[in-house]
Structure 1
Amino acid sequence: MPTPVDFSLNHLLIFAREPVLGRVKTRLAADIGPEAALAVYRELLGLTAAAVAAAQVPATVWLAEAPASAAQATQPRPEWPGLPWRVQPVAESLGERMQHAFAEAFAAGAARVVIIGTDCPGLTPELLHAAFEALQHHEVVVGPADDGGYYLLGLRELQPALFANKNWSTASVLPDTLADTTRLGLRVAQLPVLHDVDSGRDLATWRNL
Structure 2
Amino acid sequence: MITKTKNAVIVFQKNLVAGRVKTRLAKTLGNDEALEIYKSLIKTTYLEIGQLKDVDIFIYLSDYVEELPFDIKGKSYQILAQEGKDLGERMKNAFRDCFGKGYQKCIIIGTDCPEISTKDMQLAFDKLSYKDIIIGPAEDGGYYLLGLKKETPALFESINWSTAEVLSSTTHRAEGQNLSFEKLRTLNDIDTEKDWKLYNLKIKNEQLP
Q: CA deviation at 1:66?
A: 2.6
TM-score (norm 1): 0.90
Q: Which residue of 1 aligns with 2:81?
A: 87
The equivalent position to 1:181 in structure 2, one of 174, 180, 200, is 174
Quote the offset at 1:190 in angstroms: 0.8
CA distance in 2, matches of 1:115, 1:124: 14
Instruction: Find the counterpart in structure 2 of residue 71 from structure 1.
Output: none
Aligned to 2:206: none
Q: 1:48 aligns with which of 24, 45, 50?
A: 45
- Aligned-pair distance for 1:45? 0.4
In structure 2, the partner of 1:105 is 98
Q: Which structure 1 residue ranges, 4+ long, deviate > 3 Å from structure 2?
A: none
1:56-135 equivalence runs, <5 A: 56=53, 57-67=55-65, 74=66, 76-81=67-72, 82-89=76-83, 91-135=84-128
Tell me the residue number matched to 1:28.
25
Task: Look up the SS of the partner of 1:24 in the other structure.
Answer: coil
Q: TM-score, normalised on structure 2?
A: 0.90
SS of equivalent residue, structure 1 residue 55: coil
Q: Tell me the percent identity.
A: 36
Residue aligning to 1:70: none
How far apart, CA to CA, are the structure 1 residues paired with 2:16 and 2:155? 29
Q: Which SS does the other structure have where 1:54 is aligned? A: coil
What is the CA–CA distance in structure 2 between the aligned matches of 1:175 and 1:206, rounded to whole Å? 25
Alpha-carbon distance in 2 for matches of 1:80, 1:161: 34
Residue matched to 1:3: none
Alpha-carbon offset, residue 18 of structure 1: 2.1
Structure 1: state its 5+ residue gaps. Answer: 1-6, 68-73
Given residue 58 of structure 1, which amino acid in structure 2 is its aligned partner? D
Q: Deviations over 1:113-161 (max 9, x none)?
A: 1000000010111111000001000000000000000000010101111
Within the candidate set 188, 197, 200, 2:193 is matched to 200
Query: Which ranges of structure 2 fall in alignment gaps of 5 or more residues?
Result: 203-209
Q: Deviations over 1:16-65 (max 9, x none)?
A: 01222122111111121111101110110000010111113211000011
CA displacement at 1:78 relative to structure 2: 3.1
Report the secondary structure of 2:33's partner residue.
helix
Q: What SS does the corresponding residue of 1:109 show, helix, strand or coil? A: coil
Supply the distance in 2 between the matched residues of 1:207 and 1:51 (Cα, whole angstroms).
18
Q: Which amino acid aligns with 1:197?
A: I
The whole-number CA distance in structure 1 between the counterparts of 2:199 and 2:28 is 15
Aligned-pair Cα RMSD in Å: 1.3
8 Å CA contact retained: 2:64, 2:79 = no
SS of 2:5's partner is helix
Residue of structure 2 in register with 1:160 after alignment? 153
CA distance in 2, matches of 1:36, 1:78: 17
